[in-house]
Chains A and B, each alone.
Chain A
Amino acid sequence: MNAIELKGLTKTYSTFQLGPIDLTLPMGTIMGLVGENGAGKSTTIKAILDLIRPTAGQITLLGQKTPEHFPALKEEIGVVLDSQPFPTFLTADELGRLMAAALRNWEPETYSAYLARLHLPARQPLKEFSRGMVMKLALATALSHRARLLILDEATSGLDPMVRQEILDILYDFCDEEHAILISSHIVSDLEKICDYIAFLHEGKLLLADEKDRLLERHGLLKLSAEALDQLPQEAILSKRLYHYGAEALVRRDLIPAGVPVERITLEELIVALARRD
């Protein structure tokens, strides 16, 4: 079963259009939704969560169509939003009580265990929490009701590397064949660590969505002179930058003649090069 299926998802504003987006997140996998600020990551996530109404398209979550089945589906979805909608006068304990009143599968023991593991005070008002603490708290609430699908919007943004790694470790542990995660971020290095799939949004358009390893295997970085670059098959060159000392190009490995040394590319380099090409 697929955790998320988007077919022709479109949202039109007066100055921005998202989509149409076709995307599939299989169960048991983690998908990273990457793109620059304003690319449409949060809009996509808000549309999935029925916080905004899509202009067109079909959204299926855990095999059920939304928005008609969404109220019941929410029991199985854990969400971490970019800015947390928690009333800051509450304590983590009180927030847990709110969750217990809303979620049938709420597990107070799991929640307490996460609070302890993430060093979060249970009786301190949330207004005294740092952004990192609030994000960890949001993750603790999302993971304490036996959710099968986690949707996280910029969950690691603005956090220090230690906290980010802590969150990534928890997400990595969470995802087995019964679970799936969709995580958006513009910190590509975070996503490279944990994601199986990468979907790249640029100016509202989905430029690519594929397995991370396949993307990294297919593409490479070529550093050579501008003249040498011109000798190569132009269909192999996805983007290029010319410097006074030579040229740097994002290339498709399978179209580059044997013997030309193609360097391994990082996901961040790939994303930046693709965005530049566009």
Chain B
Amino acid sequence: MRSLLLLDGYTVIRQLKFFLFFILFYFAFALATPNAIFLGFSTLFLMMMPYYLMQYTESYRSDALFLILPGSRKTIVQERYLSVLIALVPVLLLSLLSGLIHSWDYCLVALAEATTAVLVLAVLLPLAYRFGNTKMRLILTVFIGVMIGVSSGAGNLLEEGDLTPLSLPLFPLLAFVALLLSLLILLVSYRISLKIYAGKEF
């Protein structure tokens, strides 16, 4: 597990440094200015990091490297899901800081975005284990299209609906429950990925 995390660290520093720069850039802006867009970008970039790391691992065939080193296939999948939880730590920190500095509304925005990102990863990771990088490009394109459709549909519904009963007192609770639920779904996704990875050939 340590060696897998170390490789992820090297990959971030060497291959994803621009990505890291943008995360830090948006992170700083999200704290400096009360602007939900910066908050959203930093959350989105942070949460997509585990998926990109997985793509790098596959493109360098590093799975084979770790499969010939001590440890099981389970460890490899565990590490990838652990990286999702690790990415969640700065997101939660950012949401807390935004709440403290600006307004708790921003904290809720960050939590909602983190929840969405966890759900997206819960779907993407097993698909990536099953289909690999090449097919995932196509799947991802379709997935983004579906996400845009669902978001705009949900946006329209929210505009039309009366959300007064769900106003402020309930929102924080709902946001935390949603995040916890997304983590439970991530656990299910982990079990599915384990099953897929156990039968994979290299």
Contacts and interface: CB of A to CB of B under 8 A. Distances in A.
A81 B66 CA distance: 12
A168 to B, nearest CB: 22
Which of A46, A52, A89 has its CB near the most chain B CB atoms (within 10 A)?
A89
Contact of B70 (A49, A86, A98, A104): A104
B173 interface: no
Interface stretch (B56-64, B88-96, B105-113): B56-64
B202 A90 contact: no
Interface in B31-87: 56, 60-72
B6 A97 contact: yes
A101 B3 contact: yes
| Category for how many chain A residues contact B | 20 to 34
Contacts of B56: 87
Contact of B3 (A49, A75, A86, A98): A98
B62 A85 contact: yes
Interface in A67-85: 71-72, 74-75, 77, 79, 81, 83, 85
A101 B2 contact: yes
A213 B60 CA distance: 41
Interface in A98-120: 98-99, 101-104
Contact of A71 (B3, B62, B72): B72
B151 interface: no
Nearest to B57: A87
Contact of B60 (A53, A75, A88): A88
B12 to A, nearest CB: 11
A263 interface: no
Contacts of A128: none
Given A52-B201, A74-B69, A74-B71, A85 B6 contact: no
Given A51-B67, A71-B71, A102 B3 contact: yes
Nearest to B59: A87
A51 B3 CA distance: 19
A178 interface: no
B3 A89 contact: no
B70 A85 contact: no
A103 B64 contact: no
Label chain B's interface by main secondary structure: helix
Contact of A103 (B6, B7, B62, B69): B69
Contacts of B15: 89
Contacts of A46: 201-202
A108 B126 CA distance: 37
Contacts of A81: 64, 68
A100 B65 CA distance: 14
Nearest to A71: B72
B94 to A, nearest CB: 28
A85 B69 contact: no
Interface of A: 46, 49-53, 71-72, 74-75, 77, 79, 81, 83, 85-90, 94, 97-99, 101-104
Interface of B: 2-3, 6-7, 10-11, 14-15, 56, 60-72, 199, 201-202
30 contacts: A46-B201, A50-B67, A51-B64, A51-B68, A51-B202, A72-B70, A74-B68, A74-B70, A74-B71, A77-B68, A79-B68, A81-B64, A83-B61, A85-B60, A85-B63, A85-B68, A86-B65, A87-B10, A87-B62, A89-B15, A90-B14, A94-B10, A97-B6, A98-B3, A98-B6, A98-B10, A101-B2, A101-B3, A102-B2, A104-B70
| Complex A-B, nearest 7 residue pairs according to Cβ-Cβ distance, in ascending order | A102-B3, A101-B3, A85-B65, A85-B64, A101-B2, A85-B61, A102-B69
